[in-house]
Structure 1
């Protein structure tokens, strides 16, 4: 006997949720374990990862995350999970495999919402375990986890109050090493959301504009208004959005006499992940190698 793979928990998770309005994530994983896998040997049920987490519960929680990517479940409130109409239809169908998930359009769109800078990264579900080196498997696993965190982060940003989103941007720029920042008035700011000092002494100023969009792209008009709102004391600006910029907006920024930096949703979560804004370290792994110098005789 062996532990189920994360994708083998798809149907048990949906079955568990179908009669519940919502469940806490940890409670859901425990119920699935007890109802579907209690016949496993004790040594499997208590098996731990190198960081001390229960392997089976961890895999069930990953199954839940993938179901969320495909919109088979949703998170109605913080920490809670509930089945969607799409999830109920999967139950009626009677099966949901990993291949089904990989071909699902919602899942594809979800994974595509955050681009990776590592174009040659192998997805963890596609990696050939027999032919991959241990380092390949580590890199693939870390890449998959990082991508999921960034995707969830982007979703969270799109749900924020617009004014709080503006503050998040200023906090990020501060963490990136810029100087003090000033939040502009929440009304009548003329398209300027914040002013940051490019250096610690405040010798140069940078204006910021933050647009929290779900689907709408930033247009040329938005960039034009931003440039028009910039006063004579600076020619530098950063325009940030949770969505993307259309071609005309990018062209306007490139051709402007001002220096305008555009940051779309994918780049934004890359920076937040890099500078630990809105995310935290969950686990630290140590990979050790033989210290040959230790065995050298003088």
Structure 2
């Protein structure tokens, strides 16, 4: 499959960020790069390593591209995951991907740290907690995954949550009601699927067809990822809106809700030797 290499995505990443006004999320940048390179769904939906992550190969290589651009000093990211140009970047400047790679690798060798090839941005380590969580969820049987979904929805404020998944139910696995400020309420139906790969627009259309006349909104949850076309279909003008939660979002939600995750805070103590010298 002719997927662009990470160094081939550096200049498109810069162009996409520039077209976004100088800052953007990972998703926005990826969307821009895909459009600039005119990548078809067959390439954008190809998984990187479905047994360990829900990340696609394009997302994996884009992470590399951002890593090198960051190490080179052209872009940086905030704690909230928003990427932006640094003062070093100037619009219209000539960028040579080969020069960027060689420069960054040279700096990495001089710093005597791990080689950059071992630590791409946004790439979990082999036994990273996200990987373990993802594999654990994939090992659940379908009914257990539906119960997990039910618990998550209740934790984030849904009421009257029911798992209704039955054969012939049109792909709807459950329903619930979400209330806003105890005034407005929306009836929501959801579908939860344990996929290793990607979910395409066809699954979104089928789900929307099943929810017509039964809810105000739809929620599609998967352990995999949604293709670019599936994301567009979920928010298509004139159609019933469907919110999407994919694998990476799911594990982050579990961490935030402290469901199946223990977070330990490490205390760091620093001795102020100058203070003692002033006694």
TM-score, normalised with respect to structure 1:
0.47
For CA contacts below 8 A with separation 6 or more, give which structure has more relative contact order. Answer: 2
Taking structure 2 as the reference length, the TM-score comes to 0.50
Structure of greater Rg: 1
